[in-house]
Structure 1
Amino acid sequence: MMVVVWRCVLVMLVVMCACLCGYTEAVGGAKSRQRPQRRPPKEPKVEPVDQLIPTQNINIPQMTGKWYLLNVASKCPHLIKHGTQVEPTTMTLSQSSTPDKTLSVSTKTRHNHQCWEILQVYYLTPTSGRLILNGTQPGRNTEISIKETDYTTYAIIYYRKYGKVTMKLYSRVTDDLSEPLLTKFEEQAEKQGLGLAYHFPFPTYSHCGDTDQDHIINCVPTC
């Protein structure tokens, strides 16, 4: 009888030891687990800088008068195909005296050995130096930004249509601009992805004078 009792006690001790060992491993396993790592905080969303924001407050009346086009930086298909055939071009700005806040634009250039004048109307916006050239449909408007100018020497103007930017460098005179100004234009163009391969210099001689009425047109350029 005693033998049976001792066997029962022995079995109970084995079972208790096994339970205690299992509990210890479970507790130990729980303690050895690595705590979950916190996810790094999300970086604040940075809105892209609008490249059409002028770098200065633009005085529109001081922009009026004649400007000579010296250089264009653009991926416009027409320029890429015919960039070596560009003609001397001038732009004359005149501010409207009516309360509609518009800027009249006359562009003169040659085509087929004849002088043509293109008449357009730029609408002023609440932002200084930013204008709109209305297209045939609202989605075809051209945004214009007089990026920077000193009014008497040079002006850098950005044009954006369908999300693509074209840059133009104008001068008050036909003489070549100083090297620093040309470098500034090239650096700004490079930031827009417009390297020297997309630069198209315009002739600085033989500009058009008076234009026949038959050669005056109202249109919106493709680029």
Structure 2
Amino acid sequence: MAGVWRCMLAVLALMCVCLWGLTEAVGGAVSRPRPQRRPRKKPKVVADDLTPPAQNIDIQRMMGRWYLLNTASKCSYLINHGTKVEATIMTLTHSSDQTLSVSTKTRHNHQCWEILQIYDISPTPGKLTLKGTRPELNTEIAIGETDYTNYAVMYYQKQGKITVKLYGRSVDDLSEPMLTKFEQLAEKQNMGLAYLFPFPTYSHCGDVDQDHVINCVPTC
């Protein structure tokens, strides 16, 4: 009789060990966390228009020659080569009711080049568009401030980034208060003195050989 009881106790002990191991195995499988997918990054929201509204701009009075005097930008090219910028002239010509012809003359490798572009005129006064190869690569342009005879501040927006340019009708007409105001306008776009790139006021290009006339969209 004692032998029978010992046998039954051994069987019960073995069953308990097996059940305990099974419980642990099942419990471990259930409690193990499933690998989670990383949440997708939300697309960066870019404001439709970061440029200040232009008011009562008479585009006809903007025609003619403008000298580039200063630029505020976080463009990588300017950050890396801002100390080597060349004297630059922009000439605006009203080619049609819907477009402006834009000629930009500057030096590259000690030679004068002319860049030809077409700006589309927006129904909004002072707003222009330089079309890229795709709509998302368009450059939106706003004439922020101008007195037509001395200075013009223009904003260029591309893919959510802003470049601000200060133009003058000559290289001598701008006063110190106007230059200070330009710095303040750049500061509003989070661009301090480290992002200001003055352009030379001498050695501008005159006539350009036809071989040095190109059509392109600038990077800055």
TM-score between the two structures when normalised by the length of structure 1: 0.76
Q: Distance in 1 between matches of 2:133 and 2:84?
A: 28
Name 1:196's counterpart in structure 2: 193
* Alpha-carbon separation, structure 1, partners of 2:64 and 2:155: 18
Question: Residue type matched to 1:112 in 2?
Answer: N
Contact between 1:169 and 1:185, CA under 8 Å: does it hold in 2? yes
State the partner residue of 1:81: 80
Q: Residues 54 and 126 of structure 2 are in contact (CA less than 8 Å); yes or no, is this contact kept in structure 1? A: no
After superposition, residues 33-44 of structure 1 pair within 5 angstroms as none
* Deviation of the 1:59 alpha carbon: 0.5
Q: Secondary structure at the match of 1:119?
A: strand
RMSD, aligned CA: 1.4
Partners of 1:117 and 1:54 in 2: CA distance:
30
Which of 152, 156, 163 is the aligned partner of 2:153? 156
Counterpart position of 2:117: 120
> Which whole-Å CA distance do the structure 2 matches of 1:71 and 1:54 have between them?
21
Give 1 or 2 for the bigger CA radius of gyration: 1
Which residue pairs with 1:179 in the alignment? 176
- Amino acid in structure 1 at the alignment position of 2:200: P
The partner residue of 2:215 within 215, 218, 222 is 218
Match of 2:64 in 1: 65
Q: Which residue of 1 aligns with 2:89?
A: 90
Contact 2:87 2:201 (8 Å CA) reproduced = yes
Tell me the distance in 2 between the aligned counterparts of 1:51 and 1:147.
Answer: 12
**In the alignment, which residue of structure 2 is the partner of 1:9?**
none
Residue-by-residue CA offset, 1:169-215 (whole Å, 9 max, x unaligned): 00000116101111111101001001000000000001000000000
Aligned match of 1:29: none
Distance in 2 between the 1:49 and 1:112 partners?
37
Shift of 1:56: 2.3
CA 176–150 in structure 1, closer or farther in 2 if over 3 Å, else same: closer
Corresponding residue SS for 1:173: coil
TM-score by length of 2: 0.77
